Amino acid sequence: MKVFVHDEALDRGGYPRECPFNTSRAGMTYRTLRSTGLLEGADRRVIAPVALTRTMLERFHEPAYLDALQRAGRGEHDLDALWMGLGSPDCPLFDDMYEYVSLAAGGSVTAAKLLLSGEAHIAFNPSGGFHHAHPGRAAGFCYVNDVVLACMTLADAGKRVLFLDVDAHHCDGVQDAFYERSDVMTVSVHESGKTLFPGTGFEEEIGHGEGRGYSVNFPLPVGTYDAALLRVFDRGVMPVIEAFDPDVIVMELGMDMLAGDPLAHLNLSNNAYADVVERIRGLGKPLLATGGGGYHVENTVRGWALCWSVLCGDQEDHDAMSFGMGGVMLETTEWSGGLRDRTLLSDAGRRGGVDSEIDATLERIYALVYPLHGIVPPARDR
C-alpha cells in the first residue's frame, strides 16, 4: 500500500506569505496528483496526519524551547525566544505556529507508524522534512524535527534505519541527533557547505564513538548536473546503503537542487530525482519520503508529483498520458511536457570542474568510510 499523507488543514495558515518556505506546495502537489489520477487505485490511500503531542515532541526537543514556540504562536516573543532562533529571518513568527508545525511534522511520525504496522509499504509526507531543527533551536525554516522523531519511532521498534537526505542543504539537525548511534545511518547528498547554509556536511563528518562511519556526507559543487549526481549515487551512495542493509528507509526529497531554485546553486532536472527514487525504491525496503526544501514553487510541485509517481511504479504510463497537456493539468504554462523536466544542457566549461570535485569527494569517502564497512571501492571509471 502507498500512502500520501495530507490534510486540508495544512492548506490554511502556515508560514507568512513573504517567507521563501511556501507551505502551499503540499496542497498544490495533492491537487496535481488528484487531477492526474495518481492518487487513484486500490493500492494507494490518502491519510490525514496526526499532530505530535507534547510528550512526543519532548522526545527530542527541550521543554523550554517548546514553551517558547507555543508563546511565539500566541504573539508573545522575548529575547530568549530570539536566541532560540524564533523570530529570525529564516524562522519567522506566525499565528498558531506551534499547532501548525506539530501537524505538519506529525505526518512523518504518522507515516512511520503505518510502515511499522504494515498498513503501508511506501508513505509520502510532502509537508515534512524539517531537518535543520535542533533540540532547543529553530533554524532554516525548521521549528520541530519530524525526521528525527520519525527515525526515533522506527528505531525504537528495533529497526535499522537509513535516513537519506537529498536536499540542497545539509541535514545538520538530523546528523547531530544520531552522530553517536549506529542503528540510524545518516547519508546526505547536498550542496557543499562552502557555498550554502548551514555550512556543514563535509566528508570528514563521519560520526563519533558507536556512530563512527554512520554519518556519510557527499557535498556537491556548484553547478552539479544530472549525470554527475547519478555518478555520486551509483559509485558512492548505493554501496554504503547496501552495506548497511537497513530495515526501513526515510528519505528527504528537497527540490531545491533543481536548476533555477532561488536559494541554491545546482543544475539538476527532476529526471535526476526520479532516477534516484527509482534506485531507492528498487531496494524493496519500506520507505518513508518527506518533502523539504524547494523554493521555486511550480518546479517543486512537479518534482514531488513525479517522485510520487515513481514511488507508485506508474510514472512511465503517466508520462505517456500527460505529454503535451502538462500546462493544463499542472495549472502552469511554463512547460507542457508532463511531470518530467526538459533535458538540461550543462555548461561544458563548468562540467570538468564539477567532475573533478566529485572525484575528489568520492575518493575521500572511499578512504574515510568504506573501510569501516568493509566496502571495496569501485574501479575508477574516468
Could you read off the pLDDT of 56-75 as tens digits, one per residue?
Answer: 999 999 999 999 999 999 98
CA distance 113 to 60: 17
Say what the pTM is.
Answer: 0.93
12 confidence band (pLDDT: 50, 70, 90): confident
Asked if 132 is an active-site residue, the reply is: yes
Residue 23: predicted pLDDT: 94
Residue 323 reports pLDDT greater than 50: no
Residue 332 reports pLDDT greater than 50: no
* Of 89-93, 278-282, 314-318, 333-337, the least confident: 333-337
Axis-axis angle for helices 270-281, 297-311 (nearest 10): 30
324 confidence band (pLDDT: 50, 70, 90): very low
Residue 349: predicted pLDDT: 55
Grid cell of 157 as nine digits: 521498534
Q: Which residue has the cell 522523531?
A: 149
333 confidence band (pLDDT: 50, 70, 90): very low
What would the pLDDT profile of 193-204 be if each residue is shown by its tens digit? Answer: 999 999 999 999
Residue 77: predicted pLDDT: 86
Grid cell of 276 as nine digits: 534516484
Residue 345: predicted pLDDT: 62
Q: Which residue has the cell 490511500?
A: 45
Section 232-259 average pLDDT: 98
Residue 262: predicted pLDDT: 97
Q: Which strands make up the sheet holding 2-5, listed edge to edge? A: 44-47, 2-5, 122-125, 287-290, 248-253, 161-166, 184-191, 215-220
Beta bridge partners of 164: 187, 251
Residue 320: predicted pLDDT: 47
Instruction: State the Rg of the chain over Cα.
Output: 20
CA distance 203 to 365: 6
Instruction: Say if CB 110 and CB 124 are below 8 A apart.
Output: no
Residue 175 reports pLDDT greater than 80: yes
Residue 125 reports pLDDT greater than 90: yes
Residue 283 reports pLDDT greater than 90: yes
Residue 327: predicted pLDDT: 37
Higher model confidence: residue 57 or residue 319?
57
What would the pLDDT profile of 351-365 be if each residue is shown by its tens digit? Answer: 889 999 999 999 999
Catalytic residue among 132, 170, 296, 318: 132
